[in-house]
Structure 1
């Protein structure tokens, strides 16, 4: 049996746990479930849609703040304890949202606190586990794990919409918390193991939390002196800014190009499937081709898509292809940063290094739509 197949045969349980964690965390359930609460909160408190939607910026800001901190913690104590504790705190935060009384400032503070408490559920935690178990098949494994957020984007909105319509927005938040307590946390606790026996250097590093230096790679200080670190961070800052700006404004852009509102929404909806399929496909390609070449093709396609979106006489099929290219770029962002960080800098200080890269990514995403 090849090393590629062996890794997936032995590591499917932690891989599944990482996918569940990604889909259940702040970049999955919290982010993709946010939108269905906008109109109910507008009706309940008289806020505008813009005022409610602005809370998503605090979610992104909180994730940017916590990523390097959480990265340092998981390098020292491992991802399992941090991930489970953060999922538990996130469940409590959802319950706390049901106590909102109409203060917009408190609403923003609540979402910032939710992001801080849920900082241990971001990709920096779950991708570390994947990297420990997978080497030859790391790209595909990362794509599958991070596809958890894509699955959340498909199922969370319609299910939560039904719950809110029948029982109210408070029950919607309670259902999110209950899902974490009754499904996500037990499964992660059962499935997640950070000690692959077929990788002695990893197993020895986790035999004692005092031995993180047993893992291969460089320290954060060494990475900071590397031009590669800054190329990745700055490059994906701008990539995330562009992609986030396009996603936020995609439907209005398509309407400006002549599509009806219904057709624009349907075309934009194709991006979600492109993200889900793209994560797996791009991960597969990363295991077989140069990461730089894969990134160039995917992001170059997105750049061409931007040109098409800027053309006033683009046909509907050209706009559809542009949306699919945007979906592939959105799929590649976090996956590529995780893959490149592990390949260039190793696993010794992966949490710290990838944490800082994610901070750059989140700041770009927060500033892009402005």
Structure 2
């Protein structure tokens, strides 16, 4: 009996063929990545809705752009604040439980938004509930999956999962925009909520918490890694990690860089690009299609960035991404027009390649500097990202109302991206992003 029990504790052989130099591989790790990506894709679709809902909400409720932008900013802040706590909760209760609960919360927030009658309800249902749910399936979730299931190819996996949220925008945005134009904004929200409810039970059985649960090694690991014991006191641990990280200068540099990243992507592009294009005479459906094209190239750019992060200095890669993004934003006042011309297509393709390309090198630097706590630290850095996004979403609408144009906003954010490039070079980590051995 004791012999049988001891034998049952031994890890089963990994499925799949061994890699180079006898490196063990696990196909199941890639299935876990697929399930995690599906959850991220669905949650990511919610982030583009404020942009296409702005017109219908203003028409029905007579709310200002600033009022709508405030609810969007609350959503973005909660998205960021939730992430580090969600990473700690995954260590305590497991990935599956947290993700399934998050998808249910997102669906509830979207459905309640369809029956709102006042702006404070929009802030509560969309800003708080949807922000809480999407924050739990944010990039810190991807970092947790990567750290547990992979020893090598971490940059590539990070790129795949990071691109999931924008891929969701790409998949759902044109259909949701068409639904809003031809029917109403409420059917669009109901449709997305039902998709979230359908995905939750689908990803649960596949999204295992740790390779040891099925007797496998992490992808690329030469040894079996036992599942760590659940870590109690998730809130206390999250705050303790923040306290320790905040004592280091690189943390604040990364937080500042990522705040600018959020302002120049989620904050302004996904919330105000469509209204800005409409100001120049472009149809909202056309502007939404351009955002979808950005999403297409975002996937390629983020995966490529992850591949490069496995092979080059993360600080330099990050600086190049911000320098190029700054140049693109500074050109937007000239490029924006009523029709889609070659200059606009160059902007859309280039911005798509750079949009989330900053995520893999930032996460790699967090892993280098903070080790096992890197997912939680990245969650806090991502909080800065969302604070920057929230400020841009809110102040961008205020600036448009006050100045009658988005042009000053593009110029300010373009200059901020150039500053972020310099800050990236000042972030001291190892010469390589992390050990891929």
TM norm. shorter chain > 0.5: yes
TM-score range relative to shorter protein: 0.7 to 0.9
Equivalent residue, structure 2, for 1:232: 254
Cα RMSD for the two superposed structures: 3.6
- Aligned: 1:181 with 2:229: no
- List per-residue Cα deviations over 1:163-195 (Å, max 9, x = no partner): 45666433332222211121x212220221232
Measured after TM superposition, the shift of residue 362 of structure 1 is: 0.7
Q: Do 2:87 and 2:144's aligned partners in 1 also have CA atoms closer than 8 Å?
A: no
- List per-residue Cα deviations over 1:266-323 (Å, max 9, x = no partner): 76664333212111111111112221232222222223334544779xxx75665444
- List per-residue Cα deviations over 1:87-144 (Å, max 9, x = no partner): 11222222222221x2122222222222134432222123311222123211111111
CA–CA separation in structure 1 for the residues paired with 2:99 and 2:70: 27
- List per-residue Cα deviations over 1:207-240 (Å, max 9, x = no partner): x31499xxxxx95544333322222112222233
Q: Do 1:75 and 1:351's aligned partners in 2 also have CA atoms closer than 8 Å?
A: no
Equivalent residue, structure 2, for 1:66: 82
Change (3 A) 1:112 1:268: closer
CA–CA separation in structure 2 for the residues paired with 1:239 and 1:64: 13
- Aligned: 1:16 with 2:34: yes
Residue 263 (structure 2) aligned to one of 238, 241, 245: 241
Q: Do 2:315 and 2:361's aligned partners in 1 also have CA atoms closer than 8 Å?
A: no
Q: Do 1:270 and 1:323's aligned partners in 2 also have CA atoms closer than 8 Å?
A: yes
Equivalent residue, structure 1, for 2:359: 334
Could you state the TM-score of these two structures normalised by the residue count of structure 2? Answer: 0.70
- Aligned: 1:298 with 2:321: yes
Q: Do 2:40 and 2:138's aligned partners in 1 also have CA atoms closer than 8 Å?
A: yes
Pairing of 1:115-126 with structure 2 (within 5 A): 115-126=131-142
Equivalent residue, structure 1, for 2:305: 282
Change (3 A) 1:9 1:235: same
- Aligned: 1:86 with 2:105: no
CA–CA separation in structure 2 for the residues paired with 1:137 and 1:157: 30
CA–CA separation in structure 1 for the residues paired with 2:347 and 2:388: 21
Equivalent residue, structure 1, for 2:402: none
- List per-residue Cα deviations over 1:244-279 (Å, max 9, x = no partner): 5662565788899xx874799476664333212111
Stretch moving more, 34-43 or 78-87: 34-43
Q: Do 2:45 and 2:173's aligned partners in 1 also have CA atoms closer than 8 Å?
A: no
Pairing of 1:120-199 with structure 2 (within 5 A): 120-164=136-180, 168-182=184-198, 184-196=199-211, 197-199=216-218
Equivalent residue, structure 2, for 1:215: none
Equivalent residue, structure 2, for 1:271: 294
Change (3 A) 1:48 1:12: same
CA–CA separation in structure 2 for the residues paired with 1:161 and 1:271: 16
User: Could you list the runs of 4 or more consecutive aligned residues of structure 1 that deviate by over 6 angstroms after TM superposition?
Assistant: 251-256
Q: Do 1:68 and 1:354's aligned partners in 2 also have CA atoms closer than 8 Å?
A: yes
Secondary structure of 1:336 counterpart: helix
Equivalent residue, structure 2, for 1:112: 127
Change (3 A) 1:8 1:273: farther
Q: Which has the higher helix share?
A: 1
Secondary structure of 2:82 counterpart: helix
Higher CA-based Rg: 2
- Aligned: 1:352 with 2:376: yes
